[in-house]
Amino acid sequence: MKKNLTESEHKILIQIGQRLKDKREEMGLSYKKVSDVTRISSQYIKNIESGNYKTFPSPVFVKGFLRNYAQLLDLDYQPFLNEYNKIFSEQTPNEEENAVRGATAKPSINKIQEHTLFRSWVFPVGLIVVIVLSVIIELSTKSADDKSGAVQNNEQQIQSPNQGGATQTVAALDLKLVSKDENGWIRLSIDGKREFDIYLDKRRAYRWSASDYFELTMAKPGLADVFFNDVLQTPTETPGQLYTVKFSNPAAPVPSAQQQ
């Protein structure tokens, strides 16, 4: 993120961070426990508390970090976002906050307690689940490739009220991400109706479906392999810029880069 802050703007960011830090210490939470629950790195948490936003990839992800951190501490995140948007208004588009955010529910202190109590058995169970899901995904993908008429099976009939009961066929769209050797954040919009801030674990497969289009934003193109309708996409990496691409049907994806 690049912005020359005024003294008053920097003071506001420090005040936001101090408010979060005071609440965290009041609740007796370490940086590690906060990181385990929110999936935000300890270094990013420290930077938020000190008002240092220079190391963050883009305003898109900072807003998600602020929201999740404040929710964990049982604080109202909206005042923090309002102040942040005022300072970074030229970098952060005005957008309505979605009710559904992220790949997980609102973090809470209960999750910290659960994490501590059941840590010894959650990991092996989770590992088994991951292995089983990976096998199922691979078998499903192979089965779909072997079937003739797969495109026809992926179509849905939609009733058109303007044509007296006639129907039109809209092909279902499929997006698959296979993360590589590092964790990271993405933002995904589905049909313009659902929008998510998602934390990708390394070496994991993720899949979504849509009717009209996907719009995907990654901090960097190399974070994951992207498959649109089972076709591997080749992103163009521009140093210092976000990678944003829109996938729709029948038009080909139209990638674009956003300046941090």
The predicted-structure confidence for 87-101, as pLDDT tens digits, reads as follows 877 554 444 344 334
- Which residue did the predictor score with more confidence, 106 or 72? 72
Which helix H or strand E contains 259, and what residues bound it? strand 254-259
31-38 and 42-50 are packed helices; what angle lies between their axes, rounded to 10 degrees? 110
213-227 residue pLDDT tens: 999 888 776 788 899
The pLDDT, as a whole number, for residue 108 is 53
pLDDT higher than threshold 70 for residue 228: yes
Rounded Cα distance between 219 and 41, Å, is: 15
pTM: 0.42
Length of the chain: 260
Q: Using CA atoms, how far apart are residues 39 and 199, in angstroms rounded to an integer?
A: 7
At position 63, the amino acid (one-letter code) is K
Q: What is the pLDDT of residue 182?
A: 81
Q: What does 130-153 look like in DSSP terms, one character per residue? A: HHHHHHHHHHHHHHHHHSTTHHHH
CATH superfamily label, 7-107: lambda repressor-like DNA-binding domains (1.10.260.40)
Neighbours of 102 (CB within 10 A): 18
Confidence of residue 259 (pLDDT cuts 50, 70, 90): very low
What pLDDT was estimated at residue 256?
47
Q: What percent of the chain has pLDDT over 90?
A: 18
As a whole-number percent, the residues of the chain with pLDDT over 70 amount to: 64
Q: What is the pLDDT of residue 253?
A: 47
Of residues 44 and 130, more confidence is placed in 44
Cα distances (Å, whole numbers) of residue 1 to 229, 248, 259: 33, 29, 9
4-18, 60-74, 155-169, 240-254: least confident range: 155-169
Copy the structure tokens of residue 159: 């009733």
Burial 56-68 (b: 16+ CB within 10 A, else e): bbbbbbbbbbbbb
Contact 89, 56 (CB under 8 A): no
pLDDT of residue 111: 55
Q: Are 211 and 172 in contact (CB under 8 A)?
A: yes
Q: What's residue 190's pLDDT?
A: 92
Among 40, 100, 109, CA closest to 74:
109
